[in-house]
Structure 1
Amino acid sequence: MQNALLYLVTVLIWGSTWLAIEFQLGEVPIAVSLVYRFGLAALLLWAWCLLRRLPMRLPGSMHLSVALMAVLNFALNYFLLYQAQLYLTSAMAAIAFSTLLLMNIVNTRLFFGQPVAKRIYVGAALGIGGIAVLFAPDLTGLSLANTSLLGLLLVLSGTLSASFGNMLSVRNSRRGIGILAMNAWGMLYGTLALLALALLSGHSFVFSSQPAYLWSLLYLSLFGTVIAFGTYFALLKRMGPEKASYTIVLFPLVAVLLSSWYEGFQWQLSTLFGFALVLAGNALVLTPFHKIRQLLPHQKPATVTAPYKGS
């Protein structure tokens, strides 16, 4: 039940952040918006940790590992994703980012030597195939002649950065670093990295007073960063990268619902088919075959009656 709750919270929040990011683009430079987002998130998380008197000290040798995880998972990843949404719709960006599942499976094998069950590859393929079916009209618009290719390359680069950050997060967790402490330090280091990027780029630290910008910034900082990263890193620690990152395949479904509510997304037969593929892939990835067999009705073996031979 705990894993299911962690999955639900992560999927619902991250599925809605793609729409919220749209309200961050425009008046304020991307790097500056990200400084505001992760700076506020770091402030909130540090206040919570200090209020609860959680142990926050890290061994000196671990700061470099946490800082590198932060640069990959928070700074570089999000900077590339925000840039990509200048060229792609939120739906297209979500589709491309869902390849994090496959990247995590491959990187888990490369970095940790962990065997990966064949069903996980099949389930991942089903899930990503389902998302491709859901957004087939957007995918058909991708060509070398438009800026969609640049957007796709930016998303895939950010996704690869996030996958490497996920591997470092797992490594740090296995070395005994608490999730809240790791996130608090990580968001602080991520904010500093983004601040350096903004200063080197010559951006001025302007701020938008538009309600949409303010509310989306607060939502992205508190829910999309503090809460969602906490639940996702908890899944990484409890279930491993290849299963935890299946949330990345599921959250585009939330984006579809929000798009149909706010942007008039039209439901078609392909939409239902895509949902079916994703749900089937989810069940296959998360449920080992021996548990599936346990769910099937047990059949009693037929009783063979010996022929009557008389007395």
Structure 2
Amino acid sequence: MQNSLLFAATVLIWGTTWIAIAWQIGTVDLVVSVFYRFGLAGLIFVLGLAALGRLEKPKTWRFVILQAFCLFSFNFICFYQATFFMPSGLVSVIFSLATIFNAVNARLFFGENLRPRTLVAGIIGVLGLVLLFWHDLTISFDVNVLLGMAWATAGTVFFSVGNMMSRKNTQHGVTPIIANAWGMCIGALILLALVILRQAPLTLPPTSSYVWALLYLALVGSVVGFTTYLLLVARLGSDRAAYTTVLFPVVALLMSTLFEGYQWHTTSVLGVGLTILGNLVMFSKWHPRRGFSHA
């Protein structure tokens, strides 16, 4: 039951954070916005744990720092940049292919078997993306869509490697909560260094919608969302935890339709369906004579 609650919370939270990211685009420098998010989230996380008497130093810092690079800084720079070029709901669909990347990276980092269903799921997922973006890439070609796809894919790769670093932390006795708290603080320092190098102004958020989006992303999307997700990674493994990506793009696309005016086409509906199917295949057991059954 606890795993079910963690799953539901992750889907709902991460399904709604994408539209909040969209509300931050264009008013404050992109890297500054990500810095505000994780600076606030890390501060709240560390102070909260300290107040509860649960703050402790990680037994090893190496993978916490690598997790910070992949999960709490560079991946979100990519996602924010992608959201600048295309609707947030579409970014979430590309991100849903984290299931495929996780399976491949689990092979690279942990020597886990790369099963035939991973290849099948990958092919289905890529076909789904082709159909999803078919209208924008062929009928009304928009180079911004290509740029958005590239940024979203890069962010997903960073996210998947960050998943592997989280598993490494768990293996070394560093809990997801401790790794997240320190990782977000380290990620904020990385982002601050980038802000200084780029000489980007630390401007104050100009609108109330930006402030509310920032608070939601820092408190709910980062502190709560990453904790529930990485607890699932620790409990179920990175591949099964990524099953949350099957559902939250549906939530994100609904929000994008309501608030960004995303227009559906027949190919985009089919594309979303195939992408979801690809994720479902990842969590099915394949039998040569009986086909696929749910894992």
CA distance in 1, matches of 2:275, 2:50: 41
**Counterpart of 1:298?**
none
**Counterpart of 2:69?**
71
Match of 1:240 among 237, 240, 252: 237
**RMSD between superposed Cα atoms in Å:** 2.8
Which moved further from structure 2: 199-208 or 47-56? 47-56
Cα shift at 1:275: 6.1
Equivalenced residues, count: 291
**Counterpart of 1:152?**
149
Which moved further from structure 2: 90-99 or 24-33? 90-99
Matched, 1:212 2:206: no
Which moved further from structure 2: 69-78 or 159-168? 159-168
Cα shift at 1:241: 1.6
Taking a change above 3 Å as real, the CA distance of residues 128 and 254 of structure 1, as seen in their structure-2 partners, is farther
Stretches of structure 1 that go unaligned for 5 or more consecutive residues are: 296-311
Match of 1:88 among 86, 89, 95: 86
SS of the residue 1:147 aligns to = helix
**Counterpart of 2:33?**
33
Match of 1:171 among 163, 168, 172: 168
Cα shift at 1:124: 5.3
**Counterpart of 1:16?**
16
CA distance in 2, matches of 1:67, 1:13: 25
CA distance in 1, matches of 2:85, 2:270: 27
**Counterpart of 1:259?**
256
Query: Contact 1:250/1:278 (CA < 8 Å) preserved in 2?
Result: no
Cα shift at 1:219: 0.6
**Counterpart of 2:52?**
52
Matched, 1:196 2:188: no
Structure with the greater alpha carbon radius of gyration: 1
Taking a change above 3 Å as real, the CA distance of residues 228 and 124 of structure 1, as seen in their structure-2 partners, is farther
One-letter identity of the residue aligned with 1:104: N
Query: Contact 2:284/2:293 (CA < 8 Å) preserved in 1?
Result: no
Stretches of structure 2 that go unaligned for 5 or more consecutive residues are: none
TM (norm. structure 1) is 0.82
Query: Contact 2:135/2:267 (CA < 8 Å) preserved in 1?
Result: no
CA distance in 2, matches of 1:51, 1:141: 56
One-letter identity of the residue aligned with 1:88: M
